[in-house]
Chains A and B, each alone.
Chain A
Amino acid sequence: MTKAAELLRYGRKSEVWSKYCGFLDLEMDEFMRIQERLLAEQIKLIAQSPLGAQLFHHEHPQTVEEFRQIAPVTTYEDYEPYFAGQRDDMLPQKAYLWAHTSGRSGRLKWIPYTRYAYQRLGERVLAGVILSMAREKGEVRLEEGDILVTNTPPRPFISGVTLQALAEEFNFRFIPGLDETESLSFQERIQKGFDTGLITGIDVLGSLSVVLVKMGERFAEGARTTKLSRNMFHPWALARMARGLLRSKLAGRKMLPKDLWQIKGMPCGGMDTSLYREQIAHYWGVNPYEQYGATEEGAIATQAWNKKGMTFFPDASFLEFIPEAEWAKWRQNPAYVPKTVLFNEVVSGERYEVVVTNFFAKPLVRYRMHDLIRFVGLEDQETGIKLPQMVFAGRSSDFIDLAGFTGLIDEKLVWQAILNSGVRFEDWTIRKEVSQGHPFLHLYLEPLESLDCARLQNRIDLELKKLNSFYADYATLIEVQPLLVTLLSPGTFGAYGKEMQARGADLAHLKPAHMNISDDTLAILMRPSQNQP
């Protein structure tokens, strides 16, 4: 199999684009043909396994429709008895590796990857890197030995597995090295990446959006971003800093990260990426790029070169979608089995929960991702992509159903309202509470500046009303502001992280969820003496 490095070496950039990003030129019927053929293969593979026999009730579906009738919609609980013990004997093929992630409940979710699925994952991730670098269709700025700085969690977290697959697909120079990163903490990874990046430069920067914004803000404030180290006195680092200083002086402002590094691509993680897009572009000189993925499948959808809507990979998994109405029925009655639609049946502007069936002998069948997405268009005229475009709307557990008719309050909406209010904050969390028979939103926010809580509450309330008409209607109906803001004392979220770390929590649980935190979590946040609800 010809890989990208070989093609690049021979100057075949257009073939690199075609191999990795060519799926963006597919028509809907071509996309569905790929889906249906790979599903047919997957059905055969999985039906022969003990797990498949259970899921299919010893039947062998022959068509997509039969498959959808026979196979149940599943969740991780259906697989946990076998996956928790990493049992290969139940699978269609022996697992090449097991990736895991930590769910909200704190339980580890283990997902097996076959060798081929892992290899295809590497290809999809590389496609993402190429697209993150591209500024127009067909532009391949990838070069052998490109410096890739990342601070995402190491193996066997899916982000680490993904990077390993990427390393096997293309000869990036990873900073910090993939083996080294496993022994570093999150902070150390960030420090090491940028520290070394001063010497080597950075071509691709993979990070959480909020980290990039924080760094940018500190630069803009003139604060030192990293601790002094020996690397900073390296001649190349000094030259880089001198050049950055010169650029910033010429521009008549304080030095920003973009003065130090000419980054080609910036794959970002986190729900907040789209919200921070302009800030990141301002600080780093490049638009952030997003992929939609999960441990269960790796990369599932990707943004194109315009860094806007996301397009599903045709060969990642067989896609089904639970329409919002069906999802709502299930929410009201968990015993209800929601109906699904196929990729060529989705409606623009509608929200759906994603349901995937693995390909390439991976075991998940009609698996509910518990992720809600929204299709923003059935094609993208700007890029000429003729496939439905979607944006990530949030985890299904991250929605607040305020009073049944308010529409769903999601994380992005709240985040946008907070940002629009102009408050500078460390972090926040929100949940639904009830007072005097009326449900209301209770926002707990740690500000970075002293401010008047009542005024902030009014500002955020106003923004929520602007962003969500249902919320505004509800406020009018109950004649009381359905929002309460509690300001947390400085260091609250930091203290929470330290406590969780001391309890042995993994990276995913060092910060509380933004939506719907439990009473126990709230109790920990409210523990600092000055925090009063």
Chain B
Amino acid sequence: MNTWIIVPLASLVCYTVLLGVNFWFGQRSRVNTSFNFFLISMIVWSLCSFFAHLDHPPLNTLLWNRLMIIGSSGMPLAFFIFVQYFVGIQRTRWTVFGVIVYLAIQAANLSGLVVQSAYVYEGRLINSYGPGVVLPSLAWVLFIGLSTWGLITAYRGTKDLTFRNRIKYLLAVIIVIFAGSVTNATPRLGVYPIDIAFNIVSALVTSYAIFRFHLLDMSVVLRKSLLYSIPTVVLGVVYFFLFSLLFHYLKNSNDITIILLSLVVATLGVLVVQPMRDRAQLWLDQALFREKYDLGMMLQRISQTAASVLDINDLTRMILAEVTGRFHLVNSAIFLKKAGSDNFRLSAQTGLEVDQNLLLRPDHPVVRWLEIHHAVLSRKDIEIHPQFLSLLGQERQDLEQLKAELFVPIQEKGTLIGILLVGVKRSEETFSTEDQATLDALANQTAVALENARLFAEAKERTVEMQFLNTAIQAELAERQRAEKALKESEQRYRRLAENAPDLIYRMLPDGRFEFIGPAVREILGYVPKDFYRDPALGSQIVFPADRELLAQIVQPGTVEVSSMKEPRVIRWVHKNGTLVWIELHQVPIYSETGQLIAVEGVARDITRRVHDQEELAERVRQLEEHNREIGMLNEMGDVLQACRNREETYPILSAYLQRLFPMVGGVVQVVNPAKHLVETVSAWGDSEISVEVFEPDRCWALRRGRPNLVLDQSPGMLCSHIHYSQVGTHLCLPMMAKGNALGLVTLAFPKSAGRMIEAEQVFSEHQQKLALTVVEHIALALDNLWLGESLRQQAIRDPLTNLFNRRYMEETLERELARSRRKHTSLGIIFADIDHFKRYNDTFGHDAGDQVLRELGLFFTGHIRKEDIACRYGGEEFVLILPESSREAVFQRAEELCLQVKQLDIRFHDQVLGAITFSIGVSIFPDHGATAETLLRCADIALYEAKNAGRDRVRMMDRFETH
């Protein structure tokens, strides 16, 4: 059994597991997919190597060896593609070229130009290569070289330390691959699958670099490796020489000696190993990791000197100088918490051009983050953590100006006292974890010193403040002395003022006694101050009885809430001469330093005259308002009456307004009828029945005299006989006079009741009578205008003789009715009537008789038409009737009925019978005979003439309308 097959077998298992893990658990990304290709090529390589070393049918070793080339020559290309995706640089042409080369290699391989013979001898794979082997070798060099170049380029192109670290791992992988491949070039090693074993390491390292984000820092790994290996090597060498020497000089020593010697050497070794390792670390850091060494020294220096510096400015400058120098920074700054506030103020800075008063407020997201997390915050953190979504525009600009890469919290006992802002490095490289740890340590080490310096600075500031305060107190003392003197002078001045003031000034003790009362009390109340000092109760005794309770509330400080004293109060007092005096009190409670009430000081002013003036003024205002209200209502009533269309509309309005104007009384409105011989009630209000409904004008004194007539309940004067005196007491009759004519009467009356005598007098005061007269004049004028308007309107549309509508009104109405019929799709009838032989009446009985005939016909038509029909005198003895919404048959029938009924009229003139009258009637119908008024009237006229021609006393209608 060939033991070397374990290597390809192990690698096969390893690659398969990696492929499975990457396939099932890895993300489906281009990097992972390309890495899968790399693994597949390795699997092919391992599998074929396994079978080649197995040397077992069905396939022979040579064939397996050739198949192995498929995998091994694919690996560099797969790795190249993987590196391209890994570093994000696309070299598509090289990839295509690689595929072509790969295919060429396989062609050469399968044609036997690469591996010419292969067999296994004593477990080793012995093969001989043909000239074609140059092709895969060159391809290997080319694509591994390109991969290396790609990684180096990416390394140089990025400042991201994590990414650089990752690239370092891949470069290490290449070194491993290279080392493995070199064994193939060595004839003695090439026969073993050592390269495959190396490739296992490379695949594992690559997987680690892909799957893990936070990789071990390659530099740390290297440093630690060196740190442990150097002392080990040194010790090993020392041991070797020691033991060589001992064996050389102590050849004959026994075992015990050797054991003792070993113990001594081991003890010495234990004793020196730690110092040696420390020294080795120092040398290593000095030689290979200079930066770290310098940082360590810096920390040491700062921690030694910081504590001794008490000046905050010196300290911050020193820290910034060290940090800037050691890290080769472009800029840096320190913010420290401001005394007496939570804001962080820019304390010191280098390399920045910013406002020196720049503040970071306590709600600034950076401050909040540092207070919560107590860890270094990077600019990148600000970009990615969602808490910083709350950064405001101005805050972003400030941060841009500060150019900070790191924000290092300076904490003292867990409280954030400052922030160290670390700017960009001159090399533009990012800060490593180690850098951040150093800065964090620096902040921690300097925190106490900074806090001490800050407190020292605060103390200095306070001392200055104290000195300033001391000076201020001295000045204040002097000022107080001056004030006391001024106070005394002021007191004297005020005493003089109080004694000579027209108002009464007093000071009262909590028990109600007056400590001081001004001499004005004599003028105001007739008493002298001594009266009050002798008799403390005098003040309350001379108060108007109704106001004593109020006085007790406001002038006895022991019994009431002092807050109520401050409001001015008005109290009535009785003067020594017995008159009532109105006094307004203004008081101020006076307290001791302990808050106890010690007195009440006040001013009492005689406002009796002012009160009387105010009462009078209020009454006048009330009257004025009442008057305004009445005038307003009067105007309103006038407007409403003017808007009325006829008399009937006015009556309820009159009663409504009169009721509002004279709410205390009932009333009635009565108008003289057109014949002027009767007065009729048209509207009434109130509980009592005031007047008879209808009476002759002579029964009212007011109408008879044309003037208002006031009758008092208890002292009757000129009594009107139309009044129901059983129910009515005091009343006022007001005639409605217009242009000397009495149009009617308004009666305002108080119900009969003995107990309401005073009220009745108030109601009918002089002002009320004047108002009533004005109102009635308004009403009379409005009614007269209305009647005049009605009369004129009737004259305009009525024929004065027949009282039927005139021709103009008929023409307007006909147009309107036709429009309505069109809208409603109804028919309309026109009856055109003409009195037969009317001229004979005139000729026989005279024109007056003719007029009588026409008057009678007016009445006839009015009594024989429907409400909606319109009867008009067309002219002379011609009449037109408009019958809306009437059918052809109905109109015709109606016309025939009129013909019959008119004959039955018994018309007389001066007791002379004028004889029967007949009509000739023409009828036309809308829409049968036309659509316009003109056409319809013409048709009716033509039909009328047909009736005339046919012998009169008949009705005719056109069959159809012919236009000519």
Contact B158 A10 (CB under 8 A): yes
Contact A23 B28 (CB under 8 A): no
Contact B386 A14 (CB under 8 A): no
- Chain B positions within 8 Å of A10 at CB level: 158, 160, 162-163, 166
Nearest chain A residue, comparing its CB with the CB of B30: A143
Interface residues of B in 152-181 (CB under 8 A from A): 158, 160, 162-163, 166
- Chain A positions within 8 Å of B162 at CB level: 10-12
A231 to chain B, nearest CB (A): 20
Interface residues of B in 561-606 (CB under 8 A from A): none
- Chain B positions within 8 Å of A37 at CB level: 363, 390, 392
Name the segment of A25-33, A46-54, A188-196, A484-492 touching the other chain.
A25-33
Given contacts A12-B162, A41-B392, whether A18 and B386 have CB atoms under 8 Å apart is yes
A425 within 8 A of B: no
B351 within 8 A of A: no
Nearest chain A residue, comparing its CB with the CB of B391: A37
A386 to chain B, nearest CB (A): 13
Please, how many angstroms separate the alpha-carbon atoms of A37 and B395 in the complex?
A: 11
Nearest chain A residue, comparing its CB with the CB of B89: A9
B393 within 8 A of A: yes
**Interface range on chain B (Cβ under 8 Å from partner):** 20 to 34
Contact B392 A11 (CB under 8 A): no
Contact B213 A315 (CB under 8 A): no
A261 to chain B, nearest CB (A): 13
Out of B166, B363, B394, name the residue touching A11 (CB < 8 Å): B166
- Chain A positions within 8 Å of B30 at CB level: 143
Contact B389 A315 (CB under 8 A): yes
A63 within 8 A of B: no
Out of A14, A34, A41, A314, name the residue touching B213 (CB < 8 Å): A14
- Chain B positions within 8 Å of A25 at CB level: 386
Name the segment of B377-385, B474-482, B812-820 touching the other chain.
B377-385
Contact B392 A22 (CB under 8 A): no
Contact B160 A23 (CB under 8 A): no
B136 to chain A, nearest CB (A): 28
Given contacts A141-B28, A143-B30, A262-B28, whether A15 and B389 have CB atoms under 8 Å apart is no
Please, how many angstroms separate the alpha-carbon atoms of A11 and B363 in the complex?
A: 33
Given contacts A22-B385, A144-B88, A314-B389, whether A12 and B213 have CB atoms under 8 Å apart is yes
B27 within 8 A of A: yes
Nearest chain B residue, comparing its CB with the CB of A5: B88
- Chain A positions within 8 Å of B166 at CB level: 10-11
Interface residues of A in 140-184 (CB under 8 A from B): 141, 143-144
Please, how many angstroms separate the alpha-carbon atoms of A360 and B166 in the complex?
A: 39
Nearest chain B residue, comparing its CB with the CB of A135: B27
Please, how many angstroms separate the alpha-carbon atoms of A476 and B30 in the complex?
A: 62
A244 to chain B, nearest CB (A): 17
Please, how many angstroms separate the alpha-carbon atoms of A110 and B158 in the complex?
A: 43
Nearest chain A residue, comparing its CB with the CB of B212: A11
B29 within 8 A of A: yes
B387 within 8 A of A: yes
Q: Considering residues B28, B384, B386, B392, which has the most beta carbons from chain A within 10 angstroms of its beta carbon?
A: B386
Please, how many angstroms separate the alpha-carbon atoms of A12 and B430 in the complex?
A: 15
A121 to chain B, nearest CB (A): 14
Contact B389 A23 (CB under 8 A): yes
- Chain B positions within 8 Å of A38 at CB level: 389-390, 392
Contact A26 B383 (CB under 8 A): no
Contact B27 A22 (CB under 8 A): no
A139 within 8 A of B: yes
A19 within 8 A of B: yes
Contact B88 A9 (CB under 8 A): yes
A96 within 8 A of B: no
Please, how many angstroms separate the alpha-carbon atoms of A10 and B93 in the complex?
A: 24
Contact B390 A33 (CB under 8 A): yes
Please, how many angstroms separate the alpha-carbon atoms of A15 and B163 in the complex?
A: 13
- Chain B positions within 8 Å of A15 at CB level: 380, 384
Out of B27, B29, B386, B393, name the residue touching A116 (CB < 8 Å): B393
- Chain B positions within 8 Å of A12 at CB level: 160, 162, 213
Please, how many angstroms separate the alpha-carbon atoms of A3 and B386 in the complex?
A: 15
Please, how many angstroms separate the alpha-carbon atoms of A30 and B213 in the complex?
A: 28
Please, how many angstroms separate the alpha-carbon atoms of A23 and B390 in the complex?
A: 11
Contact B393 A143 (CB under 8 A): no
Please, how many angstroms separate the alpha-carbon atoms of A206 and B738 in the complex?
A: 92
Out of B383, B386, B394, name the residue touching A1 (CB < 8 Å): B383
Nearest chain A residue, comparing its CB with the CB of B365: A37
Given contacts A13-B213, A37-B363, A141-B27, whether A19 and B384 have CB atoms under 8 Å apart is yes
Please, how many angstroms separate the alpha-carbon atoms of A315 and B363 in the complex?
A: 17
Please, how many angstroms separate the alpha-carbon atoms of A112 and B160 in the complex?
A: 38
A436 within 8 A of B: no
Contact B384 A22 (CB under 8 A): yes
- Chain A positions within 8 Å of B394 at CB level: 41
Residues 68-80 of chain A, each 1 if its beta carbon lies under 8 Å from chain B, else 0: 0000000000000
Please, how many angstroms separate the alpha-carbon atoms of A41 and B365 in the complex?
A: 14
Contact A18 B384 (CB under 8 A): yes
Q: Considering residues B166, B213, B387, B390, which has the most beta carbons from chain A within 10 angstroms of its beta carbon?
A: B390
Given contacts A11-B213, A15-B380, A314-B386, whether A143 and B392 have CB atoms under 8 Å apart is no
Please, how many angstroms separate the alpha-carbon atoms of A351 and B420 in the complex?
A: 49
Residue ranges of B at the interface with A (Cβ–Cβ < 8 Å): 27-30, 87-88, 158, 160, 162-163, 166, 213, 363, 380, 383-387, 389-390, 392-394
- Can you list 7 A-B pairs, Cβ within 8 angstroms, ordered by A? A12-B160, A12-B213, A13-B213, A40-B392, A116-B393, A143-B29, A314-B386
Residue ranges of A at the interface with B (Cβ–Cβ < 8 Å): 1-2, 9-15, 18-19, 22-23, 25-26, 30, 33-34, 37-38, 40-41, 116, 139, 141, 143-144, 262, 264, 314-315, 360
Besides A2-B380, A19-B384, A25-B386, 20 new A-B residue pairs in contact (Cβ under 8 A), listed by A number: A12-B162, A13-B213, A14-B213, A18-B384, A22-B384, A22-B385, A22-B386, A23-B386, A26-B386, A30-B386, A34-B389, A34-B390, A38-B390, A41-B393, A141-B29, A262-B28, A264-B28, A314-B389, A315-B389, A360-B393
